Amino acid sequence: MYKIYTVKEGEDVLSITNDLGITPDEIRRINGFPTNYEVKVGEQIVIPSVSTSPFDRYIVKQGESLYSIATQYNISADDLAQLNGLDKEEYIYPNQELLVPKPNIDFYITREGDTIGKLRQQISNDFETILKSNPYIYLMPDQVLVYEKTIEK
């Protein structure tokens, strides 16, 4: 899926693609730009609507716990554990690799008994956008719904 993006002051192809987790050549290819083309402020370009992965890889440091890492990413230790296939009480060790959400990404892990109605109440975001971003929602427990964070005004 793609969306239209307006280039902001101080941005170039490299900075835009770094945020998306793709290469500058991919943006140029998608938009039909020549190899060395640079975008201009205010120019509208086509970009992927979700980066290749909504999650970053995090390397555990000595003394860290699921709780301390979850706090850094403003998520619950339960969700961090579940996202990584761990039990909340499970020991993590230095140099272990964990998935953590990218800064503009939020997620919700479905639970037993969830319904579309309950999800609409629990997730403070445009629910129709979430449905479009996650086209295969079957509401089975442990399904991860990924969506962009709502910016508070």
Domain presence at residue 153? no
| Number of domains composing the chain | 3
One domain for residues 11 and 43: yes
Strand partners, 101: 55
Domain presence at residue 133? yes
Can you tell me the distance from the alpha carbon of 105 to that of 144, in angstroms, rounded to the nearest whole number? 12
Considering the entire predicted model, what is its pTM? 0.55
One domain for residues 127 and 92: no
Tens of pLDDT, residue by residue over 32-90, are 888 888 899 999 998 876 555 678 889 999 999 999 999 999 899 998 998 888 888 88
One domain for residues 74 and 94: yes
The boundaries of the domain holding residue 81 are 55-101
Domain presence at residue 67? yes
Q: What is the pLDDT of residue 42?
A: 93
